[in-house]
Structure 1
Amino acid sequence: MQRERLTSERIRKLELPTNIKQVFLWDTEAPRLAVRATVGSKSFIYESKLNRTTIRRTIGDIRAWTLEDARNEARRLQTLIDQGIDPRELDREQKEAKAAAKAAKVAAEQEAERRKHYTLKALCEAYCAHLKGQGKSKSARDTLSAFNCHVFETEHADTTAGEVTPHQIAGIVRSVFETGKERTAGILRNYLVAAYNAARRAPFDPTILSTLIDFQITTNPAEPVPAIGVNRGERTLTPDELKKYMEALGDTSVDQLLKLHIYAGGQRMIQLARAKVSDYTPDTGTLRIWDSKGKRRAAREHLIPLATEGKAILKNLAISKAPDAKLFVSERAAGDRIAEIRTEMGGAYFDARDLRRTCETILAGMGITKETRAHLLSHGLGGVQDAVYDKHAYTKEKRAALEAWEAKLAEITEGEAEKRKNVTSITKKKKAA
């Protein structure tokens, strides 16, 4: 083993003999330090023994390290050996620690990014997208509107959804309630409960939009907030008010929708507004609409066997339209038109739901049974008996009810004695049969 006190000149003059792969020049000042010459390069190395095992480390290229720095590094490594520490193991531990620190940094950055994107606002928007994907466009619009007005402008909108507390949800709902909007506050609370429940179930329920999984919701902070009871609507129009309302309807598309709404017995406006030309069968005078209200996974087919006036409305509307075209304008336009007529009429407030309630109230007074009214207006049919066992279509009963209903409307709107003579209660028709 050749040893000399290393100098820059001696290192420069060190040459690799022919047919030899490497040669070493060992230092006398730092005995474990050497310069290794190979084809095309020279580098400082350190070599020692630990537990009878030779340990060799490359310190670095002579162009990158000064001789003094190389000696100091050799002394450091020897100190570790003297302490029974293998520098290679120490390097591995440091490398692993560095990798772990890097991974932790990346994870922290990803979590920060997730926290920034998966906020309460984002959860609300994703839930509305889920509703729309289920075909509940009206519910999606109403829910998003409520969130826009009462959630997105609050200080909690940008809070990570999974970190929102019940106290914060209660504060959002309370701020609406204290403005006197009790019904709106109750609805908002229910929307928030539904949004969090959907996100909580998303990992396990394939029918829920998969984007809700990423919010990692495991609890529902809206559930501890008590439901807010609201008074059920009690408003019904008097016969005179109904007459004025009917007289205000003209021949525009939206007015035709409002007319059919009444002549069809007070069906849900949004469902009527979705009807297409292909949903009407002129031969039987039957209009098909789809009832997606409630927790149904799929919309329920609801058939309405119209009477004379109802059929006339649809006949005129369907003539010049393609089969996949909508029969009417949007439900929003219908609501605006009702508001316009209501303003012209004066008196107490009413909307489409009050008109629906008015229709059913009068139908009940005419002797139309509760069972027939339920099938005619598609409500209260979620029980086991109706959903599983009772498959009777009730077509005859519904048609008879609507025929009697049109006669009743004629009596209300025209007020003629002759019209009253033609009104036959459904109970009398049953006896005659």
Structure 2
Amino acid sequence: MLTDKAIEKLSVDAKRQHTVKQKSDDDEKRGFGRLIVRAQPSGNVRFWYRYRQLNKWVFLELGAYDRKGEAGLSLAGARLKLQELIAKRASSNDGDLKTHLQEEKQTHRLAVERHRKAIADEAEQAKESTFRKLLETYVEYLEKLGKQSSKDVRSLFRKNVFEAWPELSAKKAADVTVPELTEVLRKMINNGIGRNTAKLRSYVRAAYTLAMQASNDPTVPVSAQLFNLTQNPAASIPALSQFNRTRDRTLDAAELGYYIRRVEQLPSLVTRSLILLSLYLGGQRPTQLARVRRENLDIVASTVMLFDPKGKRTSGPRQHILPLSSKAISLFKPLLHLNQEILFSSDGKVNIRIETVSNAVTQISNDMAESGEARSPFEMRDIRRTCETMLAAMGVSSEVRAQIQSHGLGGVQNRHYDRHNYMTEKRHTLDTWVKKLARVRAEHKLPK
């Protein structure tokens, strides 16, 4: 059996006798080959793997010998490498280890070439990283996070940048200037869409920020790293806060009573149920409620699970579980009878378009304003604010209201310390809320 001492003696003998000296390791089983060490007169000592193939001796070089294993293979390292080759030979065709190793080398070479080509392609793509590609990458990032706003952002970019400014869209993102972006926003303001102008400026700034931070953030897609940005042109433009007006419209009891009556007259079961459930569940966001599937509904436990992707979450939407009153269950049951996995769907294949729901509420608002049932028109989002305001007037704490409407729950206390599920409080509040709505509805009837 080979030892370090024996190898060193072999090297000394080779130098003294000016001839090649060879010694085999007897540590291997018969038929698997041997570890051979060869010492040259020059002092060069190398390990070899010797085995028989078709009645011929085959030698494969393993590497130079180094007792410490730093500048070459130690004896233990050589034996380990030998075992790897024995295993590869056993798994190769006809025990042809040399061919097997050549194929491995070829495979590795091709993999290296593919990797280099991919890097070259990415470098080429970086040279052509346009403003449009930057904005599209940002939308894809929002979609990956499950952000509800992604569709609106894509539409905003398409209408006000890609279609309105094709030459700017094709320009390198790194070369877009502050005056050019300012001109885009000025045109939108002149067209009377100030709110969307503020949104566009905010989204463009976020897109540039995403790309500029991509190299330090592993959650950002690799494609965002290819723009070679050094500045954010949107960051130099004022926030246009004058266009971000906060709405304060709420419905009073009479308006809400008439609203319920009119919603109940909508011909579409799906649209009608979604709007009413949004109200009876304490002002839920219709966009989130519209995504409820059969599996999210538990009639036995009287609960429904929504998913809230809003806020700066990177770990996916937060589960938002709500208790169901008997009224809410009665609204869900007809949807279950449609025998669809997607509850709020006209064809069972895709979710109802939120624009359909919004348009229905807008039509009801216009009809109520025209008939004098409402003091002024309102929007679908005003219903959520109305619920919050009325619940507060009923004495429901801000904490419970936040749990019902799933807002303001991203703070340190709620994320890390408060593990109470508030189900009892939510059930009591929503049961009381349903009774409140029943009284409001009963006191305000539509003229026949």
User: TM-score, normalization: structure 2?
Assistant: 0.64
Q: Are the counterparts in 1 of residues 304 and 323 from structure 2 also a CA contact under 8 Å?
A: yes
Partner of 1:86: none
1:246-288 C-alpha deviation (Å, 9 max, x unpaired):
1122352111100101001111111111111111111121110
Contact map agreement 2:336 2:343 (CA 8 A) in 1: no
Query: Does structure 1 residue 304 correspond to structure 2 residue 332?
Result: no
The reply on whether 1:371 has 2:399 as its aligned counterpart is yes
Per-residue CA distance 1:128-183 (angstroms, 9 max, x = gap): 122112222x3111001111221121252222111111222222222222333322
Aligned position for 2:410: 382
Q: Which consecutive residues of structure 2, in runs of 5 or more, have no partner in the other structure?
A: 1-120, 346-351, 371-375
Give the letter aligned to residue 340 of structure 1: Q
Residues 325, 427 of structure 2: 8 Å contact kept: yes
1:292 maps to 2:309: yes
Report whether the alignment pairs 1:343 with 2:366: yes
- Note the C-alpha offset of 1:112: 8.6
Aligned to 2:203: 191
Structure 2 match to 1:87: none
Match in the other structure for 2:154: 144
CA 1:289/1:125 → structure 2, altered by over 3 Å: closer, same or farther?
Answer: same
Counterpart of 2:215 in 1: which secondary structure? coil
Q: Does 1:121 align with 2:152?
A: no
Tell me the secondary structure at the aligned position of residue 381 of structure 1.
coil
Q: Quickly say closer, same or farther: Cα 1:113–1:308, change in 2 above 3 A.
A: closer
CA distance in 1, matches of 2:259, 2:274: 13
Match of 2:251 in 1: 237
**Does the CA-based 8 Å contact 2:122-2:226 persist in structure 1?**
no
1:412 alignment partner in structure 2:
440
Match of 1:220 in 2: 232
Show the counterpart of 1:133. Answer: 144
Task: Tell whether the 8 Å contact from 1:156 to 1:164 is kept in structure 2 after alignment.
Answer: yes
Q: Name the amino acid aligned to 2:302.
A: G
When residues 111 and 201 of structure 1 are mapped into structure 2, their CA distance, relative to the original with a 3 A threshold, is closer
Say if 1:111 and 1:308 are closer, same or farther in 2 by CA, change over 3 A: closer
- In structure 2, C-alpha distance between the alignment counterparts of 1:256 and 1:242, rounded to whole Å: 16
* Shift of residue 123, structure 1, vs aligned partner: 1.4
1:274 equivalent in alignment to 2:285: no
Contact map agreement 1:372 1:394 (CA 8 A) in 2: yes
Asked if 2 retains the 8 angstrom alpha-carbon contact of 1:277 and 1:327, the reply is no
Aligned pair count reads 307
CA distance in 2, matches of 1:131, 1:212: 13
Whether the aligned pair in 1 keeps the contact of 2:283 and 2:405 (CA below 8 Å) is yes
Distance 1:196 1:405, change over 3 A: same
AA aligned to 1:174 is R
Alignment partner of 1:203: what SS? helix
2:177 aligned with 1:177: no
Residue 254 of structure 1: aligned partner: 271
User: Matched residue of 2:146: which SS?
Assistant: coil
Matches within 5 A, 1:312-323: 312-322=330-340
How far off its partner does 1:335 sit?
A: 1.3
More moved, 125-134 vs 377-386 = 125-134
The one of the two structures with greater contact order (alpha-carbon pairs below 8 A, sep at least 6) is 2
> Any idea what the Cα deviations from partners look like across 1:4-38, whole Å, max 9, x if unmatched?
xxxxxxxxxxxxxxxxxxxxxxxxxxxxxxxxxxx
The code of the aligned residue for 1:148 comes to: R
Change (3 A) 1:119 1:240: same
Q: Residue 128 of structure 1 aligns to which amino acid in structure 2?
A: V
Q: C-alpha distance in 1, partners of 2:218/2:126?
A: 23
Judge conservation of contact 1:120–1:161 (CA < 8 Å) in 2: yes
SS in 2 for 1:408: helix
| Whole-angstrom distance in 1 between the partners of 2:131 and 2:248 | 36
% identity of equivalent residues: 34
Change (3 A) 1:280 1:384: same
SS at match of 2:168: coil
Given candidates 165, 169, 175, the residue that maps to 1:163 is 175
Larger Rg: 1
Look up the SS of the partner of 1:185 in the other structure: helix
The Cα of 1:110 is off from its aligned counterpart by: 10
What secondary structure, in the 3-state scheme, does the structure 2 residue paired with 1:191 have? helix
